[in-house]
Amino acid sequence: MRAAAARYGTAGSLVLTALVAAPAGSASGAPPSPETRGTAVAAQRAEAAGIHWGACAKAEGLPPSVRCGTVSVPLDYAHPDGKKIKLTVSRTKATKKAAGRAVARQGALVFNPGGPGGSGMYFPLVGVLPEWKRIAAAYDLVGYAPRGVGRSAPLTCQDPKQYTKAPTQAPTYPDASYKQERIARAKAYARGCGTRNPGLRHYTSLNNARDLDVLRAAVGERKLTFMGASYGTYFGAVYATLFPSHVRRMVFDSAVNPDPAQIWYGNNLEQSMAFEGRWADFRSWVAKHDKVYHLGSTPDDVLRSYEKVRAELSHKPAGGKVGPGQLQAAFLKAGYYDDYWPTRASALSAYLKGDPKPLIEQAAPEPKGAAEEENGNAVYTAVECNDAPWPTDFRVWDRDNSDLARVAPFETWDNAWMNLPCAYWPAPRQQAVDVRTAKDALPPTLILAAERDAATPYEGARELNRRLRGSVLVTEEGAGTHGIAAGPNKCVNGHLDAYLLEGRLPERHAECAPHREPKPLSGERAAELPKGI
* Closest-CA residue to 383 (of 210, 195, 231): 231
The answer to whether 453 is a known catalytic residue is yes
* Closest-CA residue to 514 (of 480, 476, 483): 476
CA-based torsion, 43, 45, 50, 51: positive or negative: negative
100: CB partners within 8 A, 6+ apart = none
CA dihedral angle for residue 451, residue 456, residue 459, residue 465, rounded to 10 degrees: -100
What are residue 71's DSSP bridge partners? Answer: 87
Q: Rounded to an integer, what distance in angstroms lies between the CA atom of residue 492 and that of residue 488?
A: 9
Strands 84-92, 139-144: pairing is antiparallel
480: CB partners within 8 A, 6+ apart = 277, 278, 281, 335, 338, 450, 451, 452, 453, 454
Q: Which of 205, 230, 272, 305 is catalytic?
A: 230
Q: Which of 202, 246, 482, 515 is catalytic?
A: 482
The answer to whether 211 is a known catalytic residue is no
Q: Which of 211, 349, 453, 471 is catalytic?
A: 453
H-assigned helices in 244-340: 265-288, 290-293, 299-315, 324-336
The answer to whether 398 is a known catalytic residue is no
Contact between residue 211 and residue 73 where contact means Cβ atoms under 8 Å apart: yes
Q: Rounded to an integer, what distance in angstroms lies between the CA atom of residue 237 and that of residue 495?
A: 20
Q: Which residues are known catalytic residues?
A: 230, 453, 482
